[in-house]
Amino acid sequence: MPSQRHYSPLDQLLLQADSALRTLLPFSGQPDRLSPASDKPECELSADDNRHVAGLMRINHTGEVCAQGLYQGQALTAKLPEVRERMEHAAREEIDHLAWCEERLRQLDSRPSVLNPLFYGLSFGIGATAGLISDRLSLGFVAATEDQVCKHLDEHLHQLPRSDAKSRAILAQMRIDEAEHADHALEAGGFKFPAPVKLGMTLLSKVMTKSTYRI
């Protein structure tokens, strides 16, 4: 999404609505990068394995919906142009992840979570609030959030069936990208959250993962 520095409040509202629709409407986001699973062979999964992998990919898809909401909210209220541009760039990369997860869910004959609009709205509000407080807090929130995402991806990579090369390739590339987002946020001056705050974020993330695994 282009920088919003020269847009009126109404223009910004329309741009945010467009971003929300492209995030929440299935298969509407256009990735810049080819899915890392595109050259991987499909495998035969048992009914239980297929259901489990679909649940994991649904969690990761909702995680990308949350990331979009977070970054878009932060970009809307960021004070420094370079911070806003950083958020917008990260959001564009997250669209790749969103599209890859959607495609894999379709291949598994499954669907995204019906709770995505709720999580997008909550994430957008958190991101916008953090941006209003300070850019340093906003960047720190990105770093802490991406750290949580990396932990989830590590767990999911461990749980995937060995034969599922497609899902593994997607999550592995996502893991690389998310770690880079966290590092860049800290390098840009992001605040390092203390352990109690990270623990609270972990508990909140468990609510998301538990609810979207099946719903």
List binding-site positions.
Answer: 64, 94, 97, 146, 178, 181
Phi, psi for residue 6 in degrees, rounded to 5: -110, 15
Q: For the purposes of burial, counting CB atoms within 10 Å of the CB of 1, is it exposed (0-12), middle (13-18) or buried (19 or more)?
A: middle
Q: What is the largest CA-CA distance in the chain?
A: 53
Whole-prediction pTM? 0.82
pLDDT at 123: 86
Domain residue ranges of the chain, discontinuous segments joined by + = 46-212
pLDDT along the chain (215 residues), means of 10: 51 62 66 89 93 95 86 75 70 84 94 90 85 81 84 93 95 92 80 70 80 89
List binding-site positions for Fe cation.
Answer: 64, 94, 97, 146, 178, 181
Q: Where are the beta strands (DSSP E) in 51-90?
A: none
d(CA 184, CA 86): 9
pLDDT at 2: 42
> 46-212 has which fold?
Ferritin (1.20.1260)
